[in-house]
Structure 1
Amino acid sequence: MAATLDATLTHVTARRVAPHRAVAEVYIRKLADTQQSVELRVAVMGANEAGKSTLIGVLTQGELDNGRGSARLNMFRHLHEVKSGRTSSLSHEILGFDAQGNVVNYGCSELMTAERIGERSAKLVSFLDLAGHSKYQRTTLHGLSGYCPHRAMLLISATAGITRITEEHLGLLLALDLPFFAVISKCDIAAAGVQPVLRRLAELLQPHNKRPLLITDENLARNCVAPQNLILDTIDNGEDEDTPKKEEESSMERVCVFPVSCVRGSGLNALHAYLLALQPPNTRHTTQQESCEFQIDEIFHVGESAGPVVGGLMARGQLYEGDNLIIGPFETGEFRRISVRTIYRNRARCGGVRAGHCASLGLAIPPGERGGMRLRAGMVLLGVPEGEAGKPMKFGACVGACKSNDQAKEIVLNHQQSRDKSKNRKNVRRKNKNLLQDIANVESSLTKTIDNDQNIYKSDSEGVDKIEDAYRSDSDCEKDKLSEGECTCRDAVLLEDPNNPRGCMFFQASVHVLRHSTAIYPGFQCTVHVGNVRQTAIIEGILSRNNEVRAGCGASLVFRFARAPEYLVTGRRLLLTAGQGTRGIGRVTQVFPYVP
């Protein structure tokens, strides 16, 4: 009966009252329907002290701020955040709307927990509060890369205006091609600062064919989600000289800007209407039909007897309670079997999750693996392969035309010998350009280097060969010199086997450097963000003529993880950072399975 009602039945106590009669006490819990609500993930970005946590607190709690940060107290997770007022970790809050468009977080007498909000909501908006201080930039980048937000809300203070950190966050959003809208906070104490912010924002967005649009009422907020041509815009007023300018402005993409005040409450209704009208991208027919992949971001240990609890994002496929999966990669690059015991979404138990949902999974570790299975953030849960798991790696011919390349050949084979050697590098000074100017040609650079419709392993116009040659033997290279055009590297190249997934230590990516003070040479250490993976990597090779890459240029780089193998998928976006002055963006083009 409980299964028919989509509920779970838990046995509590039982007492026998007669030889053939007994009384049992059970606990029945209704499972949350995974299809009943639409979830929209919004990343909140902006400079420190712009009011990000305060705005999230006002939107989700329904109480205005007192001007001294009372609304942001529930957003903080650590004591030092309360004392300093700066967010240093990722925090989540949800805003629910019912079928009539009313906010369900408040407006009733009972206490609304996250579980009740999820049950009564037809649409959920999940806010991801990111850190704004430059000290916690790695946490901010990890939130953008690991949680895959559908939209971004860029907060700008009317008192401080657009600062350097604001320009940096804006540049990241433009480089990632992530849809976003802006919110100007603190308009109650600096109403005159709205227009200067709009003018500066228009200057920054103009090179990217975008322009800001000020939203002050609810009707305009609903219409800007699905733009419609107004009747007044089609009437000829006889001013022919302004016609080309109007046509140019109409072709530019609009970025909505909301002036709000968390103390007086002005502009919050328009922002609520806009969030209600936004819809997440439709990935139901693509990622849900693929194999299961759950990216692990956090790990919790509830008790000694219970198994670990992992939290993260369902990247593709579907997952249900009781499914048998494989988890990894471990230090040897292999995956091990595990099963799912329970699934929770928004602190409410549910029977399953689908692609695009954030959830927490209770895992059941096999008895023989409890002592040696050490889980860490960055691992993934995959579906059990259909073929035989654990079989030896396959070797075969490489993809594309075979050519000898000594530079790519020495990248992997000789990295152990050159690991302790230091190279004399010349420091070449260059002018520090604006980040937005450096990323003006990012899209064209990535399109030129990575073309999904063509073979990504072919050499480019500069004569740079593919990295598969690094796994070829000397005899094969000699044969290529005698017979060009024929693939003779059979049984020399490691191939990815979908029936035997493994982690990788080496991978190749096409990267466009957005900002760096000098040139980047082999041996450069940086932090790589690919999905839920965040680890230090070493550039072992740069496939270019000068063996270097500078700001504003792109090249194919060979990376090596410094600590442990990771699971990467070809085609995923990559973020590269080093300190506070280096930024790079690209995509993974080749993964080499790790075999110890």
Structure 2
Amino acid sequence: MNKLELETLVSAGETSNIEFKEFLNEETHLNSRRMENLSCQMKHRILAGNGKALYVIGVTDAGSMKGLARGEFDETVSVLKNIAMTIDADVTQVEEYKVDGGLVGLVSVENNVKPGEHLLIGTAGHVDHGKSTLVGALVTGTTDDGAGRTRIYLDVLPHEIARGLSADLSYAVYGIKGSDIIHLKNPLNKRESASVVEQSDKIISFVDTVGHEPWLRTTIRGIVGQKLDYGLLVVAADDGITHITKEHLGILLAMDLPVIIAITKIDLATPEQLKRTEAGIHSTLRLVGKVPYRVKSPEDIDTILGKVPEGMIVPILHTSSVTREGYDILEYLLFKLPKRNLTSEKPFEMYIDRIYTVDSVGVVVSGTIKQGIVEQNDPVYLGPMEDGSFKKVRVQSIEMHHYRVNKAIAGDIVGIAIKGMKAPDIARGMVISEKEPKVVQEFEAEIAILNHPTRIGIGYEPVIHMETICEAVKIVGLDRKYMMAGERGKARIRFKFRPYVVEPGQKFIFREGKSKGIGRVIAV
């Protein structure tokens, strides 16, 4: 911020997270009663700023820049640091400007609260089976009206609301403090979502995918690119297993995700429909080597919990968003589920999913941290560009569900404000990382053809989904002449248009029309 911007800020008057102070001295403002008031005031400003408060010092209550002598300036900053310590916050930045009367400062104070354990759960299932309604009812703690009232918190685009169909990934936060659930009155309120992150011992981020078949690509992006811990597959009791249900289940299993199944709309189904739906789920799970387990009470969860993260046992719950039947069991399961993806010891790396330009913040990239830890002011690499190069940028700030944090770890969904690049130069599928990674145009993989009407060979050109990468590729090598549906083999795969960061062990899905396959990178 330059002096002109500071003057504009002062002339604009007080906003929610900005506090103006002329001078704070240790003798007056650090006595117990005065300090308690100032601590409450600072906490209020930090909450209003979703984790960050700004103090403008050397400015009178009337808004004129009086300025401070050097000693007064340093003493005021020292008092702010002492106040911040009492509420587990830090003074993270001090900017000073010369005015006619002395020094005016802009002091940033940020919450030092460390977010709790963070689980990522992706919802999947056929269109109109109640994915968004289930998540909306969970995070608000309310009942649905049978017409999707709770869904409105996740379907926010005009055409989504008009048609009642999700068309893009949606995110919702669910918080647990002790054994209590922190419900949201309005999940669309950014400040309320931020307060959940601040208060919770355990945070669950729901990645709500799309059930409409034309948007299968978006669903794959949500499951493949978000480093999920678990998949929550939704099946409507009155409709049962569909081809989309099976497709989504296949994607979850291809990513080695433990699956939980919620049978929804049990208030609408007849006993015969419910029995038929449950039988279809059991037979489908057994075909793919999974053990279905009907959960009827919290005690059942305690019995099978150790096997759920391994993915062998699939809990099946009966739910209704209208009566909230089964929600107590589902909430208990969420309370007990452990975090699975723990790779914080590796260098920081995150595949970029979305790119924004935010007023007063600048360029923001969002995604799920794949590995490592990132902190505010860290220098990082961003790329690759089309020529395979990387740009050096700096982390300006980090937010988790609109709450500003000083650092984030593997498995956190975050937005990272960066300095050093423009939004049009950044694309989905790029990475932001602590160390400059290697890029590849070609890689070797083990692949399996799940569905194809004939056979594939060298020259086959599907679209690959790996992390947040969605790109046309070409098979340039096979360990045999042709491959057909049901066969496995090794292939050499080449990105058609640009290089990407690809690492051994990464799983992927490839598609071309109704043809589908899965794979795992074995060498780059």
- Does 2:350 correspond to 1:301? no
CA contact (8 A) 1:77 1:89 kept: no
Amino acid at match of 1:271: L
Secondary structure class of the residue paired with 1:113: helix
Change (3 A) 1:84 1:10: same
Secondary structure class of the residue paired with 2:150: coil
- Does 2:180 correspond to 1:102? yes
Q: CA deviation at 1:217?
A: 2.3
Change (3 A) 1:26 1:159: same
Match of 2:495 in 1: 561
1:338-353 map, 5 Å: 338-353=393-408
CA RMSD of aligned residues (A): 2.8
Match of 1:198 in 2: 278
Please give the per-residue CA displacement for 1:298-331, whole angstroms capped at 9, x wherever unaligned.
Answer: 111124x854111112111111111111111001
Match of 1:224 in 2: 304
- Does 2:95 correspond to 1:159? no
Q: CA deviation at 1:514?
A: 1.1
Secondary structure class of the residue paired with 1:72: helix
Q: Identity of counterpart residues, as a percentage?
A: 27
CA contact (8 A) 1:32 1:119 kept: no
Given candidates 322, 333, 344, the residue that maps to 1:263 is: 322
* Greater gyration radius: 1
Greater mean deviation of Cα atoms: 558-567 or 11-20: 11-20
CA contact (8 A) 1:67 1:263 kept: yes
Given candidates 450, 473, 476, the residue that maps to 1:537 is: 473
Q: CA deviation at 1:570?
A: 1.7
Secondary structure class of the residue paired with 1:144: helix
Given candidates 352, 367, 384, the residue that maps to 1:329 is: 384
1:399-410 map, 5 Å: none
Change (3 A) 1:169 1:18: closer
Give me the whole-angstrom Cα distance separating, in 1, the residues matched to 2:270 and 2:339. 33
Q: CA deviation at 1:582?
A: 1.5
Secondary structure class of the residue paired with 1:152: strand
Given candidates 527, 534, 548, the residue that maps to 2:463 is: 527
Secondary structure class of the residue paired with 1:63: coil
Give me the whole-angstrom Cα distance separating, in 1, the residues matched to 2:155 and 2:204. 19
CA contact (8 A) 1:343 1:349 kept: yes
Given candidates 506, 511, 514, the residue that maps to 2:442 is: 506
CA contact (8 A) 1:32 1:349 kept: no
CA contact (8 A) 1:221 1:271 kept: no
Please give the per-residue CA displacement for 1:453-506, whole angstroms capped at 9, x wherever unaligned.
Answer: xxxxxxxxxxxxxxxxxxxxxxxxxxxxxxxxxxxxxxxxxxxxxxxx442222
The number of residue pairs the alignment matches comes to 436
1:440-589 map, 5 Å: 501-544=437-480, 547-579=481-513, 581-589=514-522
- Does 2:177 correspond to 1:122? no
Please give the per-residue CA displacement for 1:226-284, whole angstroms capped at 9, x wherever unaligned.
Answer: 379xxxxxxxxxxxxxxxxxxxxxxx94321111111111111111111111111262x
Give me the whole-angstrom Cα distance separating, in 1, the residues matched to 2:484 and 2:307. 40
1:49-198 map, 5 Å: 49-99=128-178, 101-106=179-184, 113-192=192-271, 193-198=273-278
Unaligned runs of 5+ in 1: 229-251, 386-500, 592-596
- Does 2:293 correspond to 1:213? yes
- Does 2:338 correspond to 1:279? yes
Give me the whole-angstrom Cα distance separating, in 2, the residues matched to 1:170 and 1:122. 30
Give me the whole-angstrom Cα distance separating, in 1, the residues matched to 2:127 and 2:304. 28
Change (3 A) 1:17 1:149: closer
Change (3 A) 1:582 1:18: closer
Match of 2:20 in 1: none
CA contact (8 A) 1:324 1:384 kept: no
Change (3 A) 1:339 1:519: same
Change (3 A) 1:106 1:374: closer
Given candidates 342, 351, 376, the residue that maps to 2:427 is: 376
Give me the whole-angstrom Cα distance separating, in 2, the residues matched to 1:103 and 1:163. 33
Greater mean deviation of Cα atoms: 151-160 or 201-210: 201-210
Q: CA deviation at 1:191?
A: 4.2
Give me the whole-angstrom Cα distance separating, in 2, the residues matched to 1:257 and 1:158. 12
Match of 2:95 in 1: none
Amino acid at match of 1:254: I
CA contact (8 A) 1:335 1:502 kept: no
Please give the per-residue CA displacement for 1:417-436, whole angstroms capped at 9, x wherever unaligned.
Answer: xxxxxxxxxxxxxxxxxxxx
Q: CA deviation at 1:557?
A: 1.8
Secondary structure class of the residue paired with 1:201: helix
Q: CA deviation at 1:98?
A: 0.6
CA contact (8 A) 1:94 1:114 kept: yes
Please give the per-residue CA displacement for 1:192-229, whole angstroms capped at 9, x wherever unaligned.
Answer: 1222122222212223443322222233234331379x
Amino acid at match of 2:448: H
Give me the whole-angstrom Cα distance separating, in 1, the residues matched to 2:212 and 2:458. 30
Q: CA deviation at 1:334?
A: 1.0
CA contact (8 A) 1:514 1:583 kept: yes
Change (3 A) 1:516 1:334: same
TM-score (norm 1): 0.68
CA contact (8 A) 2:160 2:167 kept: yes
Match of 2:81 in 1: none
Amino acid at match of 1:53: S
Give me the whole-angstrom Cα distance separating, in 1, the residues matched to 2:378 and 2:422. 19
- Does 2:111 correspond to 1:31? yes
Give me the whole-angstrom Cα distance separating, in 2, the residues matched to 1:560 and 1:185. 42
- Does 2:374 correspond to 1:319? yes
Greater mean deviation of Cα atoms: 501-510 or 219-228: 219-228
CA contact (8 A) 2:363 2:422 kept: no
Change (3 A) 1:107 1:167: closer
Give me the whole-angstrom Cα distance separating, in 2, the residues matched to 1:17 and 1:540. 69
Secondary structure class of the residue paired with 1:330: coil
Secondary structure class of the residue paired with 2:153: helix
Amino acid at match of 2:517: G
Q: CA deviation at 1:168?
A: 1.6
Give me the whole-angstrom Cα distance separating, in 2, the residues matched to 1:97 and 1:31. 20
Change (3 A) 1:370 1:221: closer
Q: CA deviation at 1:571?
A: 1.8
CA contact (8 A) 1:198 1:212 kept: no
Give me the whole-angstrom Cα distance separating, in 2, the residues matched to 1:331 and 1:39. 34
